[in-house]
Each structure stands twice: as structure tokens, then as C-alpha cells.
Amino acid sequence: MFAVKPLSSLQSDLSRAVFLRPPAIGIRQARVSGRQGRVNGGAVKAAISSGDKTMEAEKGKVPYSDTDSSSSSSSASPAAASSGMIELRAVLTVRKKMRQRLVDKMEDQLESFINGIGQGISLRLVSEEVDPVTKSGKSVESTVRGWLPQQSEHPYIAEYAADFSVPGDFGCPGAVLVTNLHGKEFHLSEIVIHGFSEGPVYFSTNTWIHARKDNPESRIIFRNQAYLPSETPPGLKDLRHEDLLGIRGNGKGERKAHERIYDYAPYNDLGNPDKDDELARPVLGCDDRPYPRRCRTGRPPMRTDPLSESRIEKPNPVYVPRDETFEEIKQNTFAAGRMKALLHNLVPSIAASLSSSDIPFKCFSEIDRLYINGLILKEGDQMEAAANLLIPNVMKEVLTVGQKLLKYEVPAIISRDRFAWLRDNEFARQALAGVNPVSIELLKEFPIVSKLDPAIYGRPESALTRELIEKEIDGMSVEKAIEEKRLFIIDYHDMLLPFIDKINSLPNRKAYASRTLFFYNQSAFLRPIAIELTLPATPTSPQNKRVYTHGHDSTSHWIWKQAKAHVCSVDAGVHQLVNHWLRTHASMEPYIIATYRQLSSMHPIYKLLHPHMRYTLEINALARQSLINGGGIIEACFSPGRYAMELSSAAYKSMWRFDMEALPADLIRRGMAVEDPSMPHGLKLVIEDYPYAADGLLIWSAIKDWVESYVAHFYPDPNSTASDVELQSWWDEIKNKGHQDKRNEPWWPGLATKEDLCKILTTIIWVASGQHAAINFGQYPFGGYVPNRPTMMRRLIPQEDEPEYQKFILNPQATFLSSLPTQLQATKVMAVQDTLSTHSPDEEYLGEASQLQRNWINDQEVLEMFKKFSARLEEIEMVINERNSDPQLKNRSGAGIPPYELLLPSSGPGVTGRGIPNSISI
């Protein structure tokens, strides 16, 4: 792509150092545990590194130390080696396209020529010291110049150089201003300045450099030294301020793809009334429907609804700041996932095309065939269906390869025991060790009473009576069971009842507001004892509540099975819309926007948080485009239908609060743990064999210790956090702009001390890493078998006075299966769950430093802290593996039970059911 002049033998040594430099000592580059090893980022990332050799300048060398982060800007600056000029060389590492078309190669050759004459990339090196004449940082300019460099063994990585002559009193380089004179952007991975006797100076970039024709302003890149605002070297103060102003933008206009502007907007882009009145959706992010803010795109309003933003439909991309977009490896993985999803959807679509209607599963063997045989069609039918569905030519070729179109992988939940989903103990186990283990609570009060308005929703008392409960717990009194902490509940009554009439008015969709009661017996087993399913009160049914127990005869057994299926479908909706989307994806987005807008990339807290923000804005934008939008997959396949995001907003209004997103606080709030200073994490679990909580506390504690050591290093003064202007603006913006509708809540933590900061940061990092992993990557392992976790139900449970009841008595299996999602709905949601459960090959996991991150900070003490954090996570992985092998822990070990691995830190690519990425990247 670019070219430089022929290099000397010294430069040849430098080039070899770039590609052969060993990993940073003590920081894991890959971790293998029980599965195939993972190379972080594949061959591309393995190649992106920079030499640690020093370069002797022809006219002298600069005695500069690049290792002591605690030194001031003056002491960190290079002393003048002589009164003459000093020769420096800037080496740029550029990532090229992995898949190049002929036109790309031709463009590369043209750009090589442009660089050869010094017209491609311009650099300005800025010192940390002030020029007494200009009153700004001393600076010197140069350009990338020369012809093609020696070819690297890594075809996707290229290096280019620019030479500088600086005066002996130039000082320490603190910033590089990069101007891209080409007609298109390029990806800059790193800049290294050579010529200092103590080693090179690193500028970790990993950023897209826009073309000057798109934006005349140069990109400002700071070196890998962390500075609090008050410690900013004089020569960099103006650049620090200028860079933040550019990132914030002015809040006007439509954003362009090349921009790096972060701003806020409400969720007003989910509907599309311009296309169809049925696709109109209310704005989320107002007093009536509060919601976290998303990244602003600035698109014009809808023609039919000026409060809603016009939509960008697939395959056109939704704007996110340029560096938030997927890298090529991730793009290819996600594209493959979309292709796979299309194949998944195609199978039932073809069946629907041939039969003129979507059909339910008629027997369990039809579900099994998805994993065993796949689905077979004649070649002619394949081609006809492909034509009817407007499948692209490449897809037609795929379809004609053979008869077996698709074969799903067997989900973990039935891989060891095909009938596990039928059992009550497995139903209860998944409340503690499934994909949604964050809804179960200790029952603290009795009777159970609704908080909804009785004038609208009827009598508040639950139908779960004392007599019914005591019958199911072997005569123990309810009071004693509560006192001994043996009764637990998953209560979706108040959250769902206001939406039930709306949901049930949708075609082929039925739901209840549910309560599920569990008993923790003397044998340390949790079992469901009663399910309450409620419909809104009517004049003829003022108490429209029914209670179901497991029973022993065949009729009650089948009705109990249907009641559990309804609970699972409700749970699936709450999991997806509240615990997964709202509490991780949507809530995290404002933290990310505020971090970019208010914390300089030099700020130590920015450097700490940066790995935990990767890809989140892009995956959220894709979700708004295809998953949570009006008519999208979530509406089509989950119980709440078109009211899905309204339900999510109602949950945000009634239950979301930042201080309760911390794992210990959440466990205490739900009564699943009590404070106990004698325990390792300061908590004692009420149910010790609670895999999500037990493993989660290990991860939480590791994050907390890492954050505390990091914060103490940069904020030794007790008052330093309160006086950090960027930090205070960051926290103020999260509360008042990012979560604007909750800005006046009294529970927001203050930010006066470093202890306050540690709690806030630990919570944010936990949400982005461990919490998201625990409730995301089990979606296909648990939900891939539809009867175990149906995402919606199509029929209510038949009652004795209804005509459907006799059909149920004659064929209960048919009634059950016809209540589940249809083949089209099931296969579609399975495809989505499969995609959402997939790790990309370039995933970056908690505690691992990728090649791009190896020079993320110039501070040996911090690197040693990170090394300890990394080692701690390796120990945690061993502890979790030991727990999964312990026969005493029945919720994670036993015949047919898949081990609980969702909080194992490492993973390979694919659907593994394990692994904690740094960020919400899928």
C-alpha cells in the first residue's frame, strides 16, 4: 500500500525485530484449557508488534528512559545529546486487507508510488516540552518516503518509515499527528519512534486514519504514557483538549462513516412507520418510557413520525464511530454467521413455501432430525424454493451441492441426556446454573402480594396459599421454611401482567404472568413445588389466577409440563430483553460513549476501560437494525412480540439501578447471599451449590483486586479522584446524559474517593465481561433444544370446560408440541442463538493481552499488576474445573449434567459454552 526508501542494514535488523519480538513477559498471549488452543487474533495479530532494539542514530543517540511512568514529564524527556541535530525514525505498522480483489491490489500499487514521492502520509512529531516561541509543544514534520519495503512473511502487515531530524533539546515525543493524503482511509496499528539509547517510544494506535479529503484535521495519536489531567506535560495540554473536542462533535448533522464522533440519542430508530403502520414503535428514552441512551447517528426524521429517526435497513450499515466497527476477522466471522443463519432460516422457509403455511412440530422426532439427519428436499424443489425466496446465486450453488441442507449441532442440554429437560430437578437446576441464573430470589415475606394497582389488576394477593405450599413441603410451616431460607421464587407477575392482554391479542401468541416457587430440601436439592399463571382480571374472572403442581397422574403430569413450558417462555423473554439486552448491552453503551467523550486516551482510566469497550457499539447497532427492531427476530420469535422493547423499558424504570449491577449487591438484594466477613469474598451464599454465583464471585474478586491496585497506583493522594476534572465529567455525563431518565435517582454512587472509583469501575468491567458471558454464551447450549426453553407459546393451557381440553386428553403430546414455536420460528431463533453463542477467532478474553495490547501502557508496575491478574484468572479456571468434577456439587456434576463452564475465562472460537471476552462483542 505504501512505500519507503531502501533501508540500511540497521533498518533490516529493526524490521526483523518487529516481526520476531517475543511476547511481553508475564502477559498471556493465549490460554488453552480442555479445548483447542486459541491464537489471539490469528496470524494478523500475532504479527503486529514492534521491535525492542534501539537504533543508533547516525549523528548521535538520545539517552531517554521509556520505563519509569512515575517520573514527571520533565524527567522523562530525553536530555540533549549534543547541540547538533538528532536522527530519529518513525516506523508505522499498517494492517492491509486480508481478502484483496484485483482492484485492491492495483490501488496498493498506486498508493506505493504516491508514498514513494512523499505524498501519501505526513507526520508531525510533537514534544512534551513547550517551544518558548510558539507556546505549544515543540514539533517537527516528515513524510513517509521511498519505494516498496522488503516483503514481510505476514502478507497482511506492512511497515513504513519516516525520518526526523530534531534538535538535541527537543525533549520526549508525546504525540504524533498523522495526516493521510491518500484518497481513502488506512488502518494504523502502531507507531514506534527509534533513536533513543534507552529504547523505542511506542504509540499504540489500532485506529483508522481518515483521508484528508474527508476531514482536513490530522489524527492525534498520544504515546503509551498515562497522565492524569493535572499531570499532562505542557507541550500536550492543548492537544489533549483538542482531541476530546473533536471526538464529541457538535451534536448536529448526520454522521458519516469515516467519523469518530460519540454523542447520545434516544431509542427512536426501532420502528419504521414510513414502510408500514404496523411497524410503528414508541420512542424509548423519555419520562413515560425511560431507557439508556444509544450512540447518535443524526439521520433525518421519519416522514410519518417526526419523533422517530429514519432507518437504515440491511445490508447498509448503521453509523458507529469508525474505530468501533468490526475488524476484518470479526466481519468475516459474523458474515459467516449470517450466512449460516440464512441457511437455518431457509430450511423451514422452504417447507413453508411448499406447504403454503408454517407448521408446528408434530412429534419429538421431527425436532431430533434437526440434529441427526438434517432436512432433505429434492433438487428441483430446492431450486424452485430458492428462486421464490430470492436467494442470491451463491446460495443457489450451496443449495445444489447435495440433498442434506442443514444439520444442527446437538445442544449441550441434551448431548448427554436426551430427556433431562423433562425432569423437575433439571428445571430447577437451570435456575441456578442455566443461561438465566439471575432471576431467582429468596422468598422473604408471606403472603406474596403484588405491587400493581388493584383497581386495574385485581386483588394483589397471590393464589399460592399457605395450605398449598405446606402440602408440597411435607408439612413444614411456611414461616419455618422462610426462617430457614428454604423457599425461593422466580416472580415475573408484576413485570408482565400489564402486557399480557396486549401479547395475547397478537395472532398465535399466548402468555401468562408467572410465579414459580421452589423448595430447597434437606438433601440440598432445589425443586419446583408450584407454578402460578395469571391472566388479567375480567368481570367474569376477577381472580384469573391458576396454580399448578407436579402431581402424579398422567393428566396433571402433562398439564404441569405445559405450565413449566410457559414459565420457560416467559423466562426466555425476560432473559433476552431485560437481563441480557438491557442490563448488559444497552446499559453499557452510555459508559462507552462517556469514556470516549470525557477521558483522554492518555487518561489511565481510559486505558483501563478501553479493552472492555471493543465492538459493543457495533453489535448494538446491528441489534437495532435486525434483532430488537419492529418486525425483527426478537419480536417474531419471543413472547412479548411487538411489545418487547416496551417491556424492556418498563423493567428499566422499575428495577434497574447502577449500584445493584455489582454482583455482590445483586446477590444480597435477591437474598441469595448474606454478608459474612469471614468468607473469602465477604459473602456467604444461601445455596452453596449455586454455580453462577460461586464462579462469578471468583471473577468479580479478581477484577476488583486488579482495579484496586491499578487505581491506587495512579491515585495515591486521597483527594486526587475528586480533583480529576476529566474523571468527574465522565461520571457526571454517565448519570446525566447516558442514563438521563434516571439522573435524579438517589442511589447513584458518589465519586469523591478512590474507593468510590474502584466500586464503579469494577461494576462496569464485570458487566462487560463476566456478567455478559454468563447470560449470553449459553443461549444455544440451553435454548437450542426448543422444548427445554421455548421462546414463546402459541396456546394457553386448556381448561376442563373448553373444547380444546378433550383434544388434549386424547393426544397430550400433540397439544404440547402445537403450543411450542412453529418449525420456522424455532429454526430461526435457534440460528440466532447459535450466532450469539459463537466466539470469533479474534476474541480478546479477560486477562489476556493481544499483540495489539502489548504496548498499551508504558508502566512496568502496571504490567506486573496485570500479570498477577492474568495468573489469578488461570488459577480460577483450575478451581472451576475442579468444582465441575466434584460429585458433591450436584448442580454442576452428575449423570447427564453438562458442566457449568460459562464463567471459565478462556475459550477457543465457535460455540463452546465457555469463555469471558473482555467486552460485549456479540
Distance CA 116, CA 182 (A): 13
Cα distances (angstroms) measured from residue 128 to each of 132, 192, 236, 462, 599: 13, 16, 6, 68, 19
- Residues contacting 742, CB < 8 A, separation 6+: 290, 656, 657, 735, 748
Spatial contact of 880 and 694, defined as CB atoms under 8 Å apart = no
Catalytic choice (550, 575, 585, 612):
585
Measured CA to CA, the distance from residue 593 to residue 737 in angstroms comes to 10
Dihedral (CA of 225, 228, 229, 231) sign: negative
Q: Report the 10 Å Cβ neighbour count for 561.
A: 19
DSSP structure class, residue 920:
-
Q: Which of 527, 544, 560 is nearest to 463 (CA)?
A: 544
Radius of gyration over every alpha carbon of the chain, rounded to an integer in angstroms: 30
Determine if the peptide bond prior to 716 is cis (ω within 30°): no
Q: What share of the chain is helix, strand, coil (3-state, %, to 5)?
A: 40, 15, 45
Q: Is the peptide bond before 63 cis (omega within 30 degrees of 0)?
A: no
Report the distance separating Cα 335 and Cα 372, nearest Å: 26
Burial level of 307, CB count in 10 A (0-12/13-18/19+)? exposed
- CB burial string 141-158: b at 16+ within 10 A, e below: ebbbbbebbeeeebebbb
- Return the number of other C-beta atoms located less than 10 Å from residue 551's C-beta: 12
Helices 587-598, 616-626: inter-axial angle, 10-degree rounding: 140
What does each C-alpha distance from 241 to 141, 177, 726 come to in angstroms? 21, 14, 10
Cell 430461526 belongs to: 828
CA angle centred on 500, ends 494 and 502, rounded to 5°: 135
- Read off the C-alpha cell for 643: 411489545
User: From the candidates 776, 855, 858, 891, which is the catalytic residue?
Assistant: 776
Question: Active site includes 580?
Answer: yes
894: its cell numbers: 452428575
Q: Give me 869's grid cell.
A: 491478574
Task: Using the structure block, give the residue that is written with the C-alpha cell 516561541.
Answer: 133
What DSSP element (H or E) covers 138?
A: strand 137-143
Q: Which amino acid is at 519?
A: F
Q: Is 776 known to be catalytic?
A: yes
Q: Among residues 580, 610, 612, 681, which one is catalytic?
A: 580
Specify burial of residue 785 (Cβ count, 10 A radius: 0-12, 13-18, 19+).
Answer: buried
Q: Where do the H-state alpha helices sit in 672-724?
A: 691-714
Query: Grid coordinates representing 303?
Result: 416522514
Q: Can you give the length of the chain in residues?
A: 922
Contact yes or no for 562/551 (Cβ under 8 A): no
Contact 116, 2 (CB under 8 A): no
Q: How many CB atoms lie within 10 A of CB 403?
A: 13
Distance (Å, rounded) from C-alpha 127 to C-alpha 136?
9
HEC string for 841-889: CCCCECCCCCHHHCCCCCCHHHHHHHHHHHHHHHHHHHHHHHHHCCCCC
- Residue ranges of alpha helices (H) inside 65-179 are 73-76, 102-116
What letter would DSSP give residue 196?
B
Catalytic residue among 493, 739, 772, 839: 772
**Residue 517: which region, alpha, beta or left (left: phi > 0; alpha: psi -120 to 50)?**
beta
Is 250 catalytic? The answer is no
| Cα–Cα distance, 108 to 91 (Å, whole number) | 19
What residues are annotated to the active site? Answer: 580, 585, 772, 776, 922
